Chains A and B, each alone.
Chain A
Amino acid sequence: MRAYNLLLRLYPASFRNEYGEEMRLLFARRRRDVTGPGSVLLLYMQTIAEILGNAVLVHLDLLGQDLRYTARMLRRAPGFAITAVLIVALGIGATTAAFSVTDFVLLRPLPFPDPERLVKVWERSSGYGRMELSPANYRDWKKASTVFESIGTYHGLAANMLGAGEPLRVEGASVSFDLFPTLGVQPLIGRLFLDTDDREGAAGTTLLSYRLWQTRYGGDPAVIGRQVMLDNEAYTVLGVMPREFRFPTADAQLWTPLRFTEENYVDRNDNWMYVVGRLRPDASLERAQAEMDVIAAQSRQQYPKENANVGASVFRFSDEVSQQSRLLLLALCGAAACVLLIACANLANLLLARALGRRRELAVRTAMGAGRERMIRQLMTESLLLAGVGGALGVMVALIAVPLLNLLVPATLPIASTPSVDIRVLLFAIGLTVVTGIAFGLAPVLRVGGEADLGGLREGARSGGGQKERLRSALVVVEIVASVVLLVSAGLLMRALLTIQARDPGFRPEGVLTLQTPLPIPMYGKLATREGFYTRVLDDVRALPGVTNAGFISFLPLGKMRGGIWPVSFGGRQVNRSENQNAFLRYVTPGYFATLGIPIVRGRDIAESDARDRQAVAVVSESFLKRFWPNEDPAAVLGRHFTFALSERVVVGVAGDVLLRGLERQSEPQVYLSYKQVADDSIIGYIPRSLAVRTSTAPEMLAPSVRAIIQRIDPALPISDVTTLTEVVDRDTASRAAQLRVLGAFAAIAFVLAGIGIHGLLSFAVSQREQEIGVRMALGAQSSDILGMVMRRCLMLTVAGVVPGVALAYAAGRSMQALLAGVAPADALTLVAAVGLVVVMTVAGSVFPTLRALRVNPIIAIRAE
């Protein structure tokens, strides 16, 4: 019999309570009728099978019953159902999306084995925390170090590829042969570089990316051993890297060995190598840093001039995400957490209000004999249904949002795939919502308690004790706090964006078409060849209708290449980098300044007459003057000499400052040189390859004719990055703008949710106090008194939320100060606007409840008593 009792436990408790006794009697009777162990065994087996089958059916019956009941209840309160589902969906969707992307970028380990042992090594000098190494320093430091299991180096590479199909501009890296083993990667097919491939005079070899292999060679394994032409030099394909290998950036398409010559090691201030080391298993980051400090000190002693003040710094590879991206993603996560918090608080409040409203219904059901268990089950079904539908919608929100958020991931990370919705985060968010739903959904039944609470049946029973009222108010205050924080943060970032966008870049971007003509070396290594190219292109382009001017420059401001600093010296004195005696080097053709609209404030533009056999000239920026001749009359600097880029130059003009490196940067000293005044095959990285064309018509329309002109002059030359200068400038703030939009969306969601929360709380409070209001009115209270009563409540909630909200928002602003482009974390305008919005929201949320309170008819309200 005990066994049978256990089996009965499989039935729902309500069913067992109702029929258990009878079923036990029936079983006892059958048990009496059978004799013999065989028959008894048979009876038990039949019984077990029967109970298993029927228990499932009874559970399903109950579920169906509860779902029908829930559907009926929700149909009767569609506002509640829709609000709850939307709250849950927004909370889950937004949180999941934000955390998925953040986790992917910040927390996911690098796609290399033992990623925690990978570090990057940089030179450190005054003003530059992370500076590339010179090949010479790299070679010395590598030899001296013992903490690394292996160490390798690379620099970025861009080349024109000829072979199958159109000429193609490809990007990738030139690497030392030991770089890939350091990273711990293997090729998909073929082999990696050997030290014999990475030597002076070795034949050209290359590894292809999976993508390039697929798009260019259709994934043909026979590509190994084939030749490709890169900038007119033949390279043999050694292998193909795996699909997920994207290094150093997501765009990397191919890799070649460095093949350094002794000449590369001469200039110790020629910093352009990135260095990746793999720590020995027993070496810590601290030990590596300590050892590199010692090594850097030695090399300071050894090369006191070139290496003066040069230190070394070691960072974890995984910390490469820029501080700004990291901060923004964390801000995003904070925003998502706020939204989830608000969503849960709102859901809790909604369910509590509903629970109080249903107290009578539940009391009636209890009085009619519904067991506590049965009601818990019913309420659970309701909460789970709401959470489930909300969760399903939330998944959809997340699926839509993740690709959008993915636009925020910096392209410079060696991350292959795009993030997908993170299942763990999704489950966490759904779990939290379900727990909230159940916890607060069950509140009424837990109050009803084990015994029938007949108080709820009493006519005129007022629900909601003071304690619950306080809990509900606290939840609304939390919502207000979180929305203040989000609104202020979004507002600060918006101010920062506007500040940056309003910054004068130093040139007029409107009406300028730009494109890249990646002139390959060695073909264009000679000035004569280049000169012919420039002259023909510029003459033909300037002859196009609408074109007012055109010019070439090494690198356009705000473009991809934002580096290129060289030491500046005076009177033949040798300088070292540590003195911060640097300026940006750009070669230009005549007409460049006019094309970009950069004013020549003193002297003259670079001219065609500034040829190689003439005095080397320079146009310098105003910031150059400020840096090197701070206290002098700008007119007096014309004719001054300085040494820069391997020659002595005379200043012939002063140009306006240009924000070369980004709208958020300061203008640093710039030097513009004549494109003609450079030795053949020297400083080839800087030969003008960017064309800018100013037109009085729409610049986009000009692209086909300019393209046709260049193709006619050099059919093998790929043309890339055709765009307008306006676009280039916009792109500089694009990721910031995108991030702001996301944060703004979060703030808007939080704002609406909090508004709903306030509305819900006040509506409920008014409905609960209808009789009190009625009595007051009957006793002579005026509308204004009632209004005051509701508004006081609203005001208290607002003040209680805004004060800590502003304090928290200030703290949040402080922690993301680096993102604010000089906007103060306590920016008055932003604070006032955010608080103003919150006040508007609370007022809007209280309009309907207030009207309802005012419309209370004292006669009806009191009669109900």
Chain B
Amino acid sequence: MLPPATFHILLALAAEDLHGYAIIQEVAVRTGGELKLSAGTLYRSIQRMIEQGLIVETRDRPAPEDDDERRRYYRITAEGGAAAREEVRRLAQLVRMARAKGFAPGKA
């Protein structure tokens, strides 16, 4: 099971390479403002994810107009993708199980 912050960072990086601030914004938008990563949580997660090989820091710079010299960009790795898919499978399983028990959204 992945920590929620890790999972969200992987989702945010799925489409494109992002820098830290962009990840925070992306996660916030995706969750409708429910999850606002703090700087410490973000970079601690990033450090661990790099160590585990889920993401890498990338040397490629995006379009020059967006580029900020000081920014560091992160890219999801193949392992990162696999870890995210594994987490999705786990969550789907969980949802199926919950539905079978009668917990369906909108019902109740």
Contacts and interface: CB of A to CB of B under 8 A. Distances in A.
Interface of A: 11, 15, 18-19, 21-23, 25-27, 29, 46-47, 50-51, 53-55, 57-58, 61, 65
Contacts of B40: 11, 23, 50-51, 53-55, 58
A18 B39 CA distance: 13
B39 A23 contact: yes
B21 to A, nearest CB: 6
B9 to A, nearest CB: 14
B6 to A, nearest CB: 13
Contacts of B70: 21-22, 25
Which of B40, B44, B70 has the most chain A CB within a 10 Å cutoff? Answer: B40
Contacts of B41: 50, 54
Contacts, number: 52
11 contacts: A19-B46, A21-B70, A22-B39, A22-B71, A26-B42, A46-B38, A54-B40, A54-B44, A55-B40, A57-B44, A61-B44
B47 interface: yes
B65 interface: no
B71 to A, nearest CB: 7
Contacts of B42: 26
Given A50-B41, A55-B40, 20 more contacts: A11-B40, A15-B43, A15-B44, A18-B47, A21-B70, A22-B20, A22-B39, A22-B71, A23-B40, A26-B39, A50-B38, A50-B39, A53-B40, A54-B38, A54-B41, A57-B44, A58-B40, A58-B44, A61-B44, A65-B51
A19 B48 contact: no
Interface residues of B, number: 18
Contacts of A51: 40
B55 interface: no
B71 A15 contact: no
B47 A19 contact: yes
Interface string B20-57: 11001000000000000011111110111001000000
Contacts of B21: 22, 25-26, 29
A61 B44 CA distance: 9
A11 B47 CA distance: 13
Contacts of B46: 19
A533 to B, nearest CB: 89
A643 to B, nearest CB: 98
B39 A27 contact: yes
Considering residues A22, A50, A51, which has the most beta carbons from chain B within 10 angstroms of its beta carbon?
Answer: A22
A22 B43 contact: yes
Contact of A19 (B24, B38, B43, B51): B43
Contact of B47 (A15, A47, A53): A15
Contacts of A58: 40, 44, 47
B19 to A, nearest CB: 8
A19 B48 CA distance: 13
B39 A61 contact: no
Contacts of B72: 22
A29 B19 CA distance: 14
Contacts of A55: 40
A19 B40 CA distance: 9
A58 B43 CA distance: 9
Contacts of A26: 20-21, 24, 39, 42
B26 to A, nearest CB: 14
B48 A61 contact: yes
Q: Which of A25, A50, A55 gathers most chain B CB within 10 Å? A: A25
Contacts of B39: 22-23, 26-27, 50
Contacts of B19: 22
Contact of A23 (B43, B48, B51, B71): B43
Nearest to A55: B40
B35 to A, nearest CB: 14
Nearest to B50: A18
Nearest to A50: B38
A381 to B, nearest CB: 16
A492 to B, nearest CB: 60
Given A21-B70, A25-B70, A29-B21, A61 B38 contact: no
A46 B40 CA distance: 12
Contacts of A29: 21
B61 to A, nearest CB: 15
A58 B40 CA distance: 9
A58 B21 CA distance: 20
B29 to A, nearest CB: 16
A55 B43 CA distance: 11
A19 B43 CA distance: 7
